[in-house]
Amino acid sequence: MLEQVIADLEAEGLAVEALVSPLTAAGWRRPTPAEGWDIATTISHLAWTDEVAILAATDKAKWDEVVMDAINDPAGFVDTAAAEGAQVDPRLLLERWQASRPALAQVLRDFPEGGKVRWFGPPMAPASMATARLMETWAHGLDIAEALGVHVEPTDRIRHVASIGFRTRDYSFANVGLEAPAEQFRLELTSPSGDVWTFGPDDAPQAVTGSAYDFCALVTQRLHRADTDLVAVGPDADTWLDIAQCFAGPAGGGREPKRGIA
């Protein structure tokens, strides 16, 4: 499983790299939908997160320094690191990200079997860390594509994002101060290739169905619920679609609806 996730992570990184590598210096400064972040800031963040994950897996002392930065400025340390890293020549920034991706992949391959990598939340198995990096790379790739006004055709690599979105259901409730539902949900998604992906028990009384792309964009808060085709059966499943968040951190505000709320 680890090798498959890493292969998909590498492919996702290359897809995003293809968007930014032709850009002029001015192009790197195009604002993305993430408030205060341009394309350079976005790539800086992706490189920084790779590098921090490497420290978490290999150097406890330096990882502890990162944790202290987070403790001292919990609301701003991620933005600060991204902004600082974005100040260099875009060519150097791209080279930094091109180096961080394979370096992290190798660290995850070499990590002791059965061990878990330290992180800001619960420690993660190497495959889970790779999955989280894919999710973030894909989501920020959507930001970059929107900034550039281009459409990126979704691939079945987003199955990893869908899996995280399903597994973080309880976290989404807790993150907004709600008790997680006691019963499991059923999730049925149509993949970009036309397959149907299912999660949860067949006989679950509450369910969510629809496009895998829409679900993944929703749980990464790149798409407002009103702009998806997702259908909820049951009150708790309905609430989930309003609060879904598969990434760590305070509850995000998400995106404004593009076509209005029915």
* Matching fold, domains 2-152 and 158-243: no
Say if residues 230 and 209 touch (Cβ distance below 8 Å): yes
For the chain, the structural domain boundaries read: 2-152, 158-243
The H-assigned helical ranges of 59-176 are 60-72, 77-85, 90-110, 126-148, 159-167, 169-175
Helix (H, G, I), strand (E, B) or coil at 74: coil
Long-range contacts of 27-34 (CB under 8 A, 24+ apart): 27/148, 28/90, 28/93, 30/147, 30/148, 31/147, 32/143, 32/144, 32/146, 32/147, 33/143, 33/146, 33/147, 33/222, 33/255, 34/140, 34/143
Q: Could you write out the DSSP letters of every residue in 28-58?
A: GGPBPSSTT-BHHHHHHHHHHHHHHHHHHHH
| 215 half-sphere exposure, CB direction, 13 A CA radius | 33
CATH 1.10.3720.10 fits 2-152, yes or no: no
Residue identified by tokens 């973080």 is: 168
Say if residues 186 and 202 touch (Cβ distance below 8 Å): yes
Amino acid in position 46: L
Selection from 81, 96, 91 nearest residue 25 by Cα: 91
Class level of CATH domain 158-243: alpha beta
Say if residues 207 and 185 touch (Cβ distance below 8 Å): yes
pLDDT of residue 262: 41
Q: pLDDT by residue for the chain (262 residues), tens digit each?
A: 899 999 999 999 999 999 999 999 999 999 999 999 999 999 999 999 999 999 999 999 999 999 999 999 988 999 999 999 999 999 999 999 999 999 999 999 999 999 999 999 889 999 999 999 999 999 999 999 999 999 999 999 999 999 999 999 999 999 999 999 999 999 999 999 999 999 999 999 999 999 999 999 999 999 999 999 999 999 999 999 999 999 988 887 778 888 644 4
Say if residues 39 and 23 touch (Cβ distance below 8 Å): yes
Selection from 251, 207, 247 nearest residue 230 by Cα: 207
pLDDT of residue 261: 45
Token pair belonging to 10 = 């590498």
Say if residues 115 and 106 touch (Cβ distance below 8 Å): no
- 249 to 41, 71, 147, 165: CA distances (angstroms): 19, 13, 24, 14
- How many Cβ atoms are within 10 Å of 218's Cβ, its own excluded? 27
